[in-house]
Amino acid sequence: MDFRTGFTSDKLPLVTVCMSSYNYAKYIEAALNSLLAQTYPFIELIIIDDCSSDHSVSIINKWVLRNTVKCNFIVHKKNKGITRTLNGMVRLSSGKYVVLFASDDIMLPACIENQVKVLESCGEEYGMCYSIAATMDEENNFTGYYNEGQPHYEGDVLEYFVHGWLGFVTPATMVKRSVYSITGLYDERLLIEDYDFWLRLFTYFKAKFCDYPGIIYRRKKESAVFDEWWKNNNERYYNDRIYSNAGALTFIKGQKKLKKHLSNKINQYLKALEANRSPYVPRLLIYLIKRGYFRIPLKVLFSGFLRQRRKSLNS
């Protein structure tokens, strides 16, 4: 059922928009209004506020009442983080297609309609599509396009993605909900979900590029999630990338050069963590060895286990 009109259809595929909300009271009403303006007539809306400390919940409630929309709005009493929040919304979704939309961005009116047309015309081997993202600053000033001038790849894009040659933002994507039965949901050990999930999706499915702007993506000077990710000499970033790359080594078949690249990145991140004497190292070493990964630099291996041994003796 469409969240604005109650419209249902046996012919049009339902699209579920999953909007995560966390302390973006300044921007959220504009984001919600951009969903109201979508030209596609069959959209399910799920909103989860992850225990915002600002007025986001009040703004959403007033918006729902004022516009008489029929959405599923859930408020977390405790902050669960983005990966658990996204998993909750995906589990609740009913659509053939899923859009993960942030509460500080703007969706352009024809975005969903155009992306549905693209995916409906593709074969089953395609799991997602992505569109161009215009960008703006915190004061709504246009700041160009995301990764402007970079090639837009489609088809088998795993190698391009791993090497950082494929640039897009998650709110500008649409995913077939059926792919989650193959890829699994988002890894709740991780602070940010997208790299890990796209690794899995691009291993099993192709991607389609939509040659038009679909959203206006907000570039912010500060972000609670990203600030947490990058603090402490990037330790959380390295930790999460090791989990993601090690997982990818188990499900990517063949592609020796690509797997070697992922292994090299794991070792690079391990060395950086060990140089900072990070508390993440012992747990990561145990995780890697249990998964059969033995290319760990000896210095990292021995120092990590010695630290774990000392910790055990002192506890």
**pLDDT value at position 309?**
53
Parse the chain into domains and list their residue ranges.
15-218, 224-314
The helix/strand/coil state of 276 is coil
**pLDDT value at position 306?**
56
Find out whether 154 and 254 touch, Cβ atoms under 8 Å: no
Name the burial class of residue 313, with classes exposed (0-12), middle (13-18) and buried (19+) by CB atoms within 10 angstroms of its CB: exposed
**pLDDT value at position 149?**
82
Name the burial class of residue 12, with classes exposed (0-12), middle (13-18) and buried (19+) by CB atoms within 10 angstroms of its CB: middle
The helix/strand/coil state of 163 is coil
**Positions of the chain with pLDDT under 50:** 313
Find out whether 137 and 213 touch, Cβ atoms under 8 Å: no
Tokens describing residue 306 = 């010695």
Q: What are the helix (H) ranges across 24-134? A: 28-36, 56-67, 82-92, 111-120
H or E element, residue 292: none
For residues 60 and 30, give the distance between their C-alpha atoms in angstroms, rounded to a whole number: 11
Tokens describing residue 237 = 């970033």
**pLDDT value at position 225?**
54
CATH level 3 topology of 15-218? Spore Coat Polysaccharide Biosynthesis Protein SpsA; Chain A (3.90.550)
pLDDT digits (tens, 9 = 90+) for 58-83: 999 999 999 999 999 999 999 999 99
